[in-house]
């Protein structure tokens, strides 16, 4: 089954900003909410952003999400070394009736 498309890796220096894109189609991102998950090394994934741009309690506002058409973007500002992790986007696909994940993006804070 198809996946949502993310860049394999991004990097930036501490204090800077990075963005991670997630590209899909009309049957998934185009018509359903996107969520983002953070997976720290050796840990289970945790929810970072839901409903395109909402943060669960406890997630700092350095993390933000946006959405337009069939693409979504995760932005992280004020990068910290503790942000080094894999980031995944996810969305329901209404045509396939499955949940799709992006391939994941590894963030390196130089």
Partner 1 sequence: DVQLVESGGGLVQPGGSLRLSCAASGFTFDDYAMHWVRQAPGKGLQWVAGITWNGRSTAYADSVKGRFTISRDIGKTSLYLQLNSLRPDDTAFYYCAKSRGSDLKWHFDIWGRGSLVTVSS
Q: Which residues bind partner 1 (CB under 8 A)?
A: 1, 32-33, 35, 37, 39, 44-47, 50-51, 56, 86, 88, 90, 92, 94, 97-104
CA distance 78 to 11: 13
Identify the residue whose tokens are 């945790």.
Answer: 46
| Minimum CB distance to partner 1, residue 57 (Å) | 11
CB 20 within 8 Å of CB 72: no
Nearer to partner 1, 36 or 79 (CB): 36
Nearer to partner 1, 18 or 90 (CB): 90
> Residue 33's closest CA among 76, 77, 94?
94
| Minimum CB distance to partner 1, residue 3 (Å) | 8
> Can you say how many angstroms the Cα of residue 40 is from the centroid of all Cα atoms in its chain?
13
| Minimum CB distance to partner 1, residue 49 (Å) | 9
């Amino acid at each position: 089954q198809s996946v949502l498309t993310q860049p394999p890796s991004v990097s930036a220096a501490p204090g800077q900003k990075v963005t991670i894109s997630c590209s899909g189609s009309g049957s998934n991102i185009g018509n359903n909410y996107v969520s983002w998950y953070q997976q720290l090394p050796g840990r289970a994934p945790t929810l970072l952003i839901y409903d395109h741009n909402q943060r669960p309690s406890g997630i700092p506002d350095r993390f933000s999400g946006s959405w337009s058409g069939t693409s979504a973007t995760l932005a992280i500002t004020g990068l910290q070394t503790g942000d080094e992790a894999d980031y995944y986007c996810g969305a329901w696909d209404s045509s396939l009736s499955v949940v799709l994940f992006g391939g994941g993006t590894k963030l390196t804070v130089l």
